[in-house]
Amino acid sequence: MLSPTFLSRLRRLLPPHCVLNEREDLMPFESDGLSAYRNVPDVVALPENEAQVAAILQLCHANKVAVVARGAGTGLAAGALPIDGAVLLVLSKLNQIKVLDPLARTATVQPGVRNLAISEAAAVHGLYYAPDPSSQIACSIGGNVAENSGGVHCLKYGLTVHNILQLRAWTIDGQLLEIGSEALDSSGYDLLALLTGSEGMLAVITEVTVKLLPRPERAQVVLAAFDDVAKAGAAVGNIIAAGVIPAGLEMMDRLAIQAAEAFVHAGYPLDCEALLLCEVDGINEEVSDDIFTVRRVLADSGATEIRTADSEEQRLRFWAGRKAAFPAVGRLAPDYYCMDGTIPRGQLPHVLRRISEMSAEYGLPVANVFHAGDGNLHPLILFDASQPEELHRAETFGGRILELCVDVGGTITGEHGVGLEKINQMCAQFTSPELTRFHDVKAAFDPDRLLNPGKAVPELHRCAEWGAMHIHGGQLPHPELPRF
C-alpha cells in the first residue's frame, strides 16, 4: 500500500480530478485487453502535460515507488497490469497532434493519440500512417511504441519501429531523453529501436514523431477460399516466392470465418476450411500485374474459390471482417485466450496441424486469425473461465503454442509483447547469458527496477523453476542454473 504521505505529495502535483484512488474509480484500470489477469491499482495518476509526467516520476524515484505506464488499455499480454504498491501512470490525457508536416511527411504526436486519428488528420494531405493494428480505432501511439505493434499491412510497410523517427522519453529519475531525429540516420547506438518494444520498462514516452506515407494510387484485395488449412498456409509462401510483396496477407480458419461473417456480413464463403485475403497496392499498372500473378498462384495452390474486390466498398468490407475477427470470435464462447507468436512462413502448414492436434488434446476449440505474410499467428483459444480448470488448460495450451513457435525457429511474440502473459516462455526463447544482458540494459536505464517491474524479462531463478518442469527434446532448459 502507498503511504498517506506519498499520496498527499502526489495530489499536490496534479489537479484533483487527475488523481484517482477510490475503488469505483480504479476498477476500470484493473486490466488491459487481456482480462484473464486483473489487479486493482492503488492509485491512478492522469497527467495532463509533460511537466507533470516528469514530476510524478521524480516523486516516485525519490520514494522508491514503482510506476506502471498505461495507454488506452488495449494491450493483450498484461503488459500494463497494475501492481500493488505502485502508481498507475495513465497517459491518455496527452492526446494532441502537435505538428503535422505534409512536406516532410511527418507527424509529431503525444502518446495518447489514437492510431487511427493520425491517418484521419493526415488524409486531407493524401497521407496516412501505415501500422494499423486491429484495435487502431482505440489503441494509442504510445502503446504501439511500447509493444512495437504491427497490423494487417505490416508485411510491406513494417512494424512501428520502421515507421517512427524520434521519441521524447523520461527516465524514472525525471531525466529527458530525445531519441532519434528527423534525419535519415542518427549517430550512436540505435536507442530508438531499443525503446520501441521495451514495454514501459526503460522510460516513459511523451512524444513520438512518425513517418507518413502517400496514399497509394490503387489498392485491391483478392479473397481466396481453400478446402484445407495446410494448402492455404502453403499458398502464402508461394505468393511471396512469385515476387509479389502484398500490402497485406491475412488468413483465417473456418471457425474465425464463420464468426466474422455472422458479425460483420463481409461476404465470406462459409463452406471452406481457410480463407486468405491478399491486398496489393501501388500504381495502377503495378497493381494489375500483381493481381494477375496472385490469382494465378492461388489457383495453382489449390484455391477452391477466388474473388477480386471490384469496388473500394467491397475491399473495405473484406477487411472489415478480418479486423473484427477478435470481437466476432468473442461471441462463440464466454472467454478466449489470444496468443501471439511468429514463425517462418514455411512452417505454417506444420504449425497449424500441430495446433489442431493440441486443440483436440486439451479439449478446447481454437480459431486461427493471423498475419500470414510475416508468420505472425493469433490462435484464439476458446474456454469458459467459470468452469474449473478451463483457464489453466487454456494457459497451458497457449504456452505450448508459443514453445512450438520457438521450436520451429520463430519467436514468442510478433506484436503483442511479452508482458506478464508470456514471461515463462521467455525462458524457452533465450539463454541465461542473453537474459542477463537484458537485465543489464534494464539496470542502465532503471537501476532500482521501478518501471513496470516483473514484466517482459524473467528473473533467472524463475527460469530455473520453470525449466525444472519443462523438458524439450530431452534437454532441460538452462541446465547451468541452480534448481530451487
CATH no. for residue 366?
3.30.70.2740
pLDDT, mean of residues 186-196: 92
Is-contact 153 92, C-beta < 8 A?
no
> Quick one: DSSP state of residue 451?
B
The reply to whether 206 and 248 lie within a common domain is no
Q: What is the pLDDT of residue 472?
A: 56
**C-alpha span between 96 and 98 (Å, rounded):** 6
Distance CA 294, CA 243 (A): 10
Provide the domain limits for residue 63. Answer: 4-90
Do residues 108 and 185 share a domain?
yes
Whether 420 is in a domain gets the answer: no
In a domain, 144, yes or no: yes
CB atoms < 10 A from the CB of 201, how many?
Answer: 24
Phi, psi angle pair for 76, to nearest 5°: -125, 25
pLDDT digits (tens, 9 = 90+) for 115-163: 999 999 999 999 999 999 989 999 999 999 999 999 889 999 999 999 9
Whether residue 58 sits in one domain with residue 31: yes
Strand partners, 128: 213
Contact 461, 484 (CB under 8 A): yes
The number of distinct structural domains making up the chain is 5
Give 267's pLDDT tier (boundaries 50, 70, 90).
Answer: very high
478 lies in a domain? no
* Rounded-to-integer distance, Cα 33 and Cα 22, Å: 22
Q: Are residues 385 and 339 in the same domain?
A: yes
pLDDT score of 480: 61
Same-domain check for residues 104 and 179: yes
**Structural domain ending residue among the three candidates 181, 214, 247:** 214
Whether residue 208 lies inside any domain: the answer is: yes
Whether residue 223 is found in the same domain as residue 204: no
Q: Rounded mean pLDDT of 180-200?
A: 91
Burial class (CB in 10 A: 0-12, 13-18, 19+), 450: buried
Considering the domain architecture, whether residues 237 and 303 belong to the same structural domain is answered as: yes
Which three three-digit cell numbers place residue 321? 471482417
316 and 337 assigned to the same domain: no
3-state secondary structure of 100: strand
| More confidently predicted of 478 and 431 | 431
Domain boundary, last residue among 327, 355, 382 = 327
CATH code: domain of residue 238:
3.30.70.2190
Q: Convert the pLDDT of each residue in 15-40 to its tens digit.
A: 999 999 999 999 999 999 877 789 99
Kindly report, residue by residue over 75-106, the tens digit of the pLDDT: 999 999 999 999 999 999 999 999 999 999 99
- Reading the block at residue 47, the C-alpha cell is 497527467
State the Cα–Cα distance between residues 313 and 319, nearest whole angstrom. 10
CATH number for position 75? 3.30.43.10
Confidence (pTM): 0.93
Whether residue 235 is found in the same domain as residue 310: yes
pLDDT at 45: 98
Based on the domain organization, do 380 and 294 belong to the same domain? Answer: no
Position 483 pLDDT exceeds 50: no
Q: Is 114 within a domain?
A: yes
- What is the structure's pLDDT at 475? 58
Asked whether residue 126 is domain-assigned, the answer is: yes
Shared domain for 78 and 116, answered yes or no, is no
Distances (CA, A) of 436 to 73, 139, 299, 463: 29, 32, 49, 12
| pLDDT interval class at 484 (50, 70, 90) | very low
* pLDDT surpasses 90 at 212: yes
Residue with cell string 487481456 = 34
| End residue of a domain, out of 155, 181, 214 | 214
**417 lies in some domain:** no
Among 166, 158, 161, 160, residue whose Cα is nearest residue 183: 166
Average pLDDT for 166-177: 97
Mean pLDDT of 170-179: 97
The answer to whether 268 and 259 are in contact (CB under 8 A) is: no
Q: Is residue 351 part of a domain?
A: yes
Please check whether residues 402 and 455 belong to one and the same domain: no
User: What is the percentage of the chain residues whose pLDDT exceeds 90?
Assistant: 88
